Amino acid sequence: MTQRVDVELLDRIRPRINSLVTENARRLPGLRYCDVRIQVREEKGAVAENGNEKASAEDYAFDFGVRVIAGDRASAPGYYGRILGSADVDRVHEVIMEGIRQAHQRARTNARMKSQARRRFGALGESLADARLAPVRIAQDTVPATYRTDPRTVALEDSVKMAVDACKAAQGVSSQVAYAAASSSTFMLRELFCSSEGADIDQSFAQTEGFVIAICTSEHGTLEIYDFTGHQRGWEILTEGYDNGSIVLPDFVTFCKNLAADGVEVANSPPLRPPDKPVVVVTDPHFNTLLVHEVVGHPSELDRALKYETSYAGRSWFFRDMADNQMGRQIASPLVNAFSDPTIEGFGSFKYDHDGTPARRAYHIREGDFEEFLNNRQTAAVLGVEANGSFRATESSLIPLIRMTNTIFAPGDRDPQEIISEVEDGYYVSGHRVPSVSEARENFRITAVKVYEIKNGQLGQLYRDGGITSDSRDYFMSIDAVGNDFRMYPIPNCGKGQPMQAKRMSNGGPTMRGIARLTGPGG
């Protein structure tokens, strides 16, 4: 008889998994390090389209991943991952031990090929260094989820009703809303991390989120607008909303209604005809959410900077090579500060990453100077720096990657209304839509939801289909005012890796003022 898969399953298997890693794995020849990650997720969700239920589902995920570092003359990593089901519960320890053996075999094969390449390629081969991990504090810890309404207690019918009601609210704003769709979901996730160094970490997360899209029509054509809401909390996020000062989320029905109303307003506005020269731009927190994500967050990921991603995702404008990089150099106005911090509330919050590294704040830009990359234990060892806990996978069966956490522009001390009032002739850019970035993120083009003309310190005409473009360093150097109105927003669909991993994180910032070129429809 197969057993039920739920998050409590990990209570039963946790002690034995730890012994597999700390005792059985250590007996394998040439093994230098081993870790095992296991997760169980219980989830439910629904989708509505044009006010009608379209789909709903209640399911679980159960999988594990193994990393081994092994070798004789040289050491190298080997990985193994597998998706599990209820039929595997009774023999899960055997399955995981087989995964450890497979990862060990791959690591030894990689190490042997590395040794051969060292001999074959002479001086060039010496660049093939041993796989090393930066030291971290080894933790034994249990971290509970935070919620008021446990996602597991929510009836699937309630998720369906939430999606349908929210969709109807969006469509009911105006007859100009030609199409609307909404989705709601909630889940409980539990992760185990055990390593041959003695780490034994049990973390749980509650996650609830919603998505809405509306297509609005007008004499200026159609306009598509969409957005996400959610937090690492229970079902109360959609029914009641949330406000801690920096994360401000209305209930889901109100959220959908507000988005559709914005869509209708923007659809009825004339397209932006951008000036042919750089102008003063004031960007709001929602626009800066995407800006910090694309132009600071991604290029601050050290695997990208070290060219591990070059073939399919690009490089980093912060790092050309070990001798030519921006570390310790000014790349922005002294008013600009940016950091990633998984210890504050957000979609990217956790206490330990998938290296078992304790989470901490990593400053990327401090008073205009570039300071620190996001890293894992292996890339931290390459640069000889401290690991900062940024190694995470979407599923345990996938290899972790260096990912953003809660990556933000830090707030300043200016009143945002004063920042606008000082502009005689410029534009206010609000909300983000679509990014377009260069391969190393050294320049960008990001479209906005709304662009207002500023005349003599007052907001004027609203335009649609506008955005800004600039060289990244030039734009950051031009920042001359930073507001005190910090906000952070959820990003549930950041893609990275091969195969692609979509990861949840939060980004945000305050109002900021700088110089950039405006873009209009089609350019």
Cis peptide before 144 (omega within 30 of 0): no
Q: What percent of the chain has pLDDT over 90?
A: 91
Residue 442 falls inside a structural domain: yes
* Contact present, 331 and 476 (Cβ < 8 Å): yes
pLDDT grade for 118, boundaries at 50, 70 and 90:
confident
CB of 494 closer than 8 Å to CB of 402:
no
Burial of 116 (0-12, 13-18, 19+ CB in 10 A): middle
Q: How far apart are CA 489 and CA 486, in angstroms?
A: 10
Helix (H) or strand (E) holding 26: none
Tell me the whole-structure pTM to 2 decimals: 0.95
Q: What is the pLDDT of residues 428-456, one digit of tens each?
A: 999 999 999 988 999 999 999 999 999 99
The answer to the question of residue 98 being in a domain is: no
Pairing assessment for the beta strands 425-437 and 279-283 based on DSSP bridges = parallel
Residue 151 in any domain: the answer is no
User: What does the pLDDT look like over 207-238, one tens digit per residue?
Assistant: 999 999 999 999 999 999 999 999 999 999 99
What is the Cα 59 distance to its own chain's centre?
Answer: 23
Q: Is residue 136 part of a domain?
A: no
The rounded radius of gyration (Å) of the Cα atoms in the chain is 25
What is the spatial distance between Cα 216 and Cα 222, in angstroms, rounded to a whole number? 6
**Least confident among 37-46, 280-289, 356-365, 514-523:** 514-523
pLDDT digits over 230-251, tens only? 999 999 999 999 999 999 999 9
If one counts the domains in the chain, the total is 1
Does a structural domain hold residue 208?
no
The verdict on residue 399 lying in a domain is yes
What value does the mean pLDDT take over residues 29-55? 97
Residue 309, domain extent: 279-519
- pLDDT per residue over 152-200, tens digit each? 999 999 999 999 999 999 999 999 999 999 999 999 999 999 999 999 9
Look at residue 92 and tell me if it is in a domain: no
Q: Is residue 43 part of a domain?
A: no
